[in-house]
Amino acid sequence: MPRYDAIGFDLLTALLDTWSVWKAVAGDDALGMRWHAASQAMLRGRAYRPFEDIVRESAREVGVGAERASEMLRRWGDFEPWPDTPGALARLGGQRRFIVTNCSITLGERAAARAGEFELVMTAERAGAYKPDPRPYRAALEALGLDPARVLFVAGSAHDVGGAGRLGMDVYWANRGNAPAPADARALLERPDLRALPDLALP
């Protein structure tokens, strides 16, 4: 019997290298990461409001011009998968897989197409809230008829570890930024990338 019925993924950190584009558009690595962090602080765990507005507002907060914010949104389809992403997904074979992402419907589907094929792309816009609010994770599970105890979620951030775990999912944390562990949750397995994921997920 398979260890899990499905695997859920964070998109914009676990699967795709979005940081490189934030840095390139900002024109400075440190500024790009401050802009990204500011955008995350504005949305994390809150009721949905247009993601595109958050990108523009966070740009103003850190001193990035409006034209660069528009460029960031135009380049949302430019994200490359992390080098380990294609191999890890290939090793998972026909395992059911879905995405839960803090994004608008349009931008989420555009970015997900860069990562591969997924049964569902659940966005914050569709769910009405941003992770780690439980609504996006729950909406994905309900849409696919999944029991959370039979799902492995691949977190890209410390917030995902708690968000998915509180709904009863096991969590694999691809901690690409070497972030501190959350105080309120623990991943089943934490690694710096996805290379160990198939060994955990498959029987």
Could you give the domains of the chain? Answer: 6-17+80-201 (3.40.50.1000), 19-77 (no CATH)
Looking at every residue in the chain, the average pLDDT score rounds to 97
SS3 of residue 202 by DSSP? coil
Would you state the pLDDT for residue 171?
A: 98
Question: Which segments of the chain have a pLDDT < 50?
Answer: none
Would you state the pLDDT for residue 184?
A: 87
Would you state the pLDDT for residue 65?
A: 97
pTM for the full model?
Answer: 0.96
Rounded Cα–Cα distance for residues 198 and 87 (Å): 10
CB 102 within 8 A of CB 11: no
Strands 170-174 and 97-101: unpaired
